[in-house]
Amino acid sequence: IRPIQKDETEAFLSTLQTAFGFPLDRAVIPNFERKIVRDRMHVALDGDVVVGTAGTIPFTLTIPGGEMPTSGVTMVSVLPSHRRQGLLRQMMRRLLDDAHARGEALAILWASEDAIYQRFGYGPAADTKSIAAERDRVSFVNDPGPIGRTRLIDEQERLKQIPPIYDAVRRVTPGMYVRTDTWWETHSLYQSERGRDRDGPLLCALFEMDGVPEAYALYHVKPEWGDDAVPQGRVDVDEVMATTPRAEREIWRFIFGIDLIQRVHAYYLPPDPPLFLMVAEPRRLRLSHTELLWLRLVDVEAALRARSYATTDSLAIEVIDEFCPWNEGTYRIDGSTGSVDRTDGPADLRASAAALAAPYLGGFTFSHLARADRIEVLNEGALERADAMFATPRPPWCPENF
């Protein structure tokens, strides 16, 4: 297992896409090479044949009370011929050791299969909602009527107008990460020719109030006509960002007002979507739920010290971590000063590193963990103190698969 060399990009992508069951699209290679940091992308070799892939992307992640350098694990695959031989474990070992050496106290990923990464200390840290609504059944409660201006913007204007909106939301939302200009161009706003043929062109609507941009929506239109010539198309919404409640309402008003459309599907919505409380018939949104972002505390002490706490209480947590044994020990958190220190004293709670990942960003509570039998309570009243200390004003959210 080693970083990829310059002439191995196609072999890397071929292995990745074969493992996931997709045909290789050579047209994406130049974009891929712009997006990656080469010494963070690894291949697993059997002789000189690439049989596995794994890499990380350096992110700056929003955490409660601040930001933190984070390792974004991605493009993990093993060919069917080499599965069940410990290869994935070796690659995970390499990536976590590398993150630890780089001083990245957190690692995040989106899991294609949930069971895989819990073996390596990852836990679910943020969830998401999706909708599959019938367009003509959506209306707003106490609707004041349309305000402001919503318009479609082209590819050049997107790079100017929408990053500030995204960043305004990101700064106050744990689980979101900084998008560089290169990331916008090569990932968030990138669409391959194959993707355009499959999904339709990526469109962008911008809502402005008195000339000030406040919200945007990235979406695709999939036209469809019934045998009776009645339009039955759908809109697939990739991302909606809004900096004010009125902007949230108006950008959704635009989406649900698109003509020739029967259904609106939206993915990767926040776990507490304002839209649910804005509409007259919330059930008609057909809201569904799934886990989203998985988190790994690579350096427990540094990660606990970096975030803020909502109360001035103190709490001692004993952490069990077989895969990253440097984390094993008891940590005392002082909410009044934000200090975190290892201690030989008694612990209030005992948890695995994977379990501790769940409340770290504020997505789950320690009480939730206890009801799931994922944490051991050693002191009476510790759950209530822990829940209050780790509470956040809004739940974590990561709106983008990386």
Provide the annotated active-site residues.
117, 402
Please give the helix or strand (H or E) that residue 339 lies within, else none. strand 339-343
- Whole-angstrom Cα distance, residue 73 to residue 295? 10
Paired tokens of 178: 């900084």
Tokens found for residue 220:
């695709």
Cα separations in angstroms, 304 against 10, 31, 72, 185, 341: 40, 36, 19, 33, 10
Residue 4 is given by DSSP the state P
Question: 238 burial class (0-12, 13-18, 19+ CB within 10 angstroms)?
Answer: buried
- Which residues 6+ apart lie within 8 Å of 264 measured at CB? 131, 132, 133, 135, 138, 234, 235, 237, 255, 256
DSSP state of 224: -
What does the block give as tokens for 8? Answer: 């191995």
Residue 4 main-chain phi, psi, to 5 deg: -70, 150
CA distance 35 to 182: 7
